[in-house]
Amino acid sequence: MGNTRSSRFTRTDWLATGPLAPHVDAFKQYLTDCGYAATTFANCVRSVAHFAQWVHGRRLRVQRIDETVVAEFLDDHLPRCHCTGPVHCDRRNLSAALGHLLVVLRAQGVVAPPMMRTTPVDEELLCYEEYMDHVRGLAPKTRDIALRIVGRLLASRFGDGAIDIAAIKPDHVRRFFAQQAKLYRKPANAGTVISALRGYFRYRASLGDAVHGLIGAVSYPANWQLASLPKTLTAEEVEQLVGSLGRPGRSMRRADAIVRCAMDLGLRSGEIARISLDDIDWRAGTITLRHTKGRREDVLPLPATTGEAIAAYLKHERPKTRNRAVFVRHVAPRDQPIGPDLVRKTIRQAFARTGLPYTRSHLLRHTMANRLLAGGSSLKEVADVLRHRSLNTTLIYAKLDSRKLVDVALPWPGSAA
């Protein structure tokens, strides 16, 4: 059902007299704090007014409102709505507005948190995630990947029933891997499945389970990690990218600062997104990286060009917000930090504006490593700047060190020595 019964004269008096009246001011303040435009604000108010009229007609107590009640309103009532007076009937607007309403009601303690149906597999995954987080210190993305894979294994073996780790045999693991291999065609991705399974079985071994036969049930496929050269920007392409910075436009100062963080400091997307105002020491000219991939705090010198780009963004473009993140959202809901995906999107857009045929944000990190090597830095120094926990991770950049490669290259057969 569309907007046929909506208009700018939609009734909102149900908000003042209906069951949601005590919570209207908090709802409006929430929308204001999120920074929604006037049109969106008005649509949300009209949507909740329609919902309030329906709740009153059903004689529902506010405490009973939850996702089930909202779904009943959207799926059963809305297609055959006969509410009195003009009412807002756009399903998309209604769904979004009622989602915000639930947030407000739960923040006030009026409505109980959503009930989550848990199975033994869910409980097992929760325990395993705590282990990966607190014992192994794995990043959230790594944990999510492992939980998806292990969850599929456990669900395929036990469904909603209790977990009996002794009931998993090596043949079960091999068959599961064969099924998953169809989804992961590249050797590196297939290795991710094996790594996730072995990590889980090691966790069970730490609990005293006899699972050593399961750990070796599948082997890693051949995957020559150092077989290819890391892609980097040429010196000319770096100049092109630098020359494209400073253009006027919406969110361009934020884009310039993000590109500078990736290009000058070699920061990962997640590290850029997590930079806080408290992490920058302007007097000392340093930036502190917290909650990094290696779970360490690293203090790096802040290059002048990077600091100037961040300062310009903070002074001229960053919206007023109570959030301490340096890079925040420019569209509603405001007052929120950006995420790694927006960092990657920003860098892709910077490549596109420059006319460079690249899409991966990690390219700037590789480029920085190449520039360090070209400037005479050792692999150990590159590893320190990129904050690699293992020097083996940095070895791939040895292929880019043309000065060292000349020293070890053999003469071409038949040529002068």
What value does the mean pLDDT take over residues 331-339? 86
Res 277: pLDDT: 97
Helix (H) or strand (E) holding 299: strand 298-301
d(CA 33, CA 15): 20
pLDDT higher for 368 or 307? 307
Res 6: pLDDT: 44
Q: Is the pLDDT of residue 295 over 80?
A: no
pTM for this model (two decimals): 0.70
Q: Tell me which residue of 217, 213, 186, 195 sits closest to 138, measured CA to CA.
A: 195
Helix (H) or strand (E) holding 286: strand 286-289
Domain ranges within the chain, ordered by starting residue: 13-107, 120-215, 235-403
Res 400: pLDDT: 56
What value does the mean pLDDT take over residues 210-218? 88
Q: Is the pLDDT of residue 294 over 80?
A: no
What value does the mean pLDDT take over residues 266-292? 92
Edge-to-edge strands of the sheet including 286-289? 280-281, 286-289, 298-301
* Record: fold of 120-215: DNA polymerase; domain 1 (1.10.150)
What value does the mean pLDDT take over residues 110-120? 81
pLDDT higher for 308 or 230? 308
Q: Is the pLDDT of residue 131 over 80?
A: yes
Res 123: pLDDT: 93
Phi-psi map region of 320: left, alpha, beta (phi>0 left; psi -120 to 50 alpha):
beta
- Do the Cβ atoms of 386 and 397 come closer than 8 Å? no
What value does the mean pLDDT take over residues 323-334? 90
Res 311: pLDDT: 97
Q: Is the pLDDT of residue 4 over 90?
A: no
Q: Tell me which residue of 85, 87, 88 sits closest to 96, measured CA to CA.
A: 88
CA 15 centroid distance within chain: 37
pLDDT higher for 397 or 369? 369
Phi-psi map region of 183: left, alpha, beta (phi>0 left; psi -120 to 50 alpha):
alpha
Please name the CATH architecture into which domain 235-403 falls.
Orthogonal Bundle (1.10)
Question: Mind telling me the catalytic residues?
Answer: 268, 293, 362, 365, 388, 397
**Averaged pLDDT of the chain:** 85
What value does the mean pLDDT take over residues 389-402? 61
Q: Is the pLDDT of residue 103 over 50?
A: yes
d(CA 133, CA 266): 25
Residue 300 main-chain phi, psi, to 5 deg: -120, 150
Crossing angle of helices 187-206 and 120-134, in 10° steps, is 90
Q: Is the pLDDT of residue 354 over 80?
A: yes
- The rounded percent of the chain whose pLDDT value lies above 90 is 50
Q: Tell me which residue of 102, 104, 113, 197 sits closest to 148, measured CA to CA.
A: 197
What value does the mean pLDDT take over residues 253-264? 96
Res 397: pLDDT: 62
d(CA 105, CA 63): 9
What value does the mean pLDDT take over residues 227-244? 84
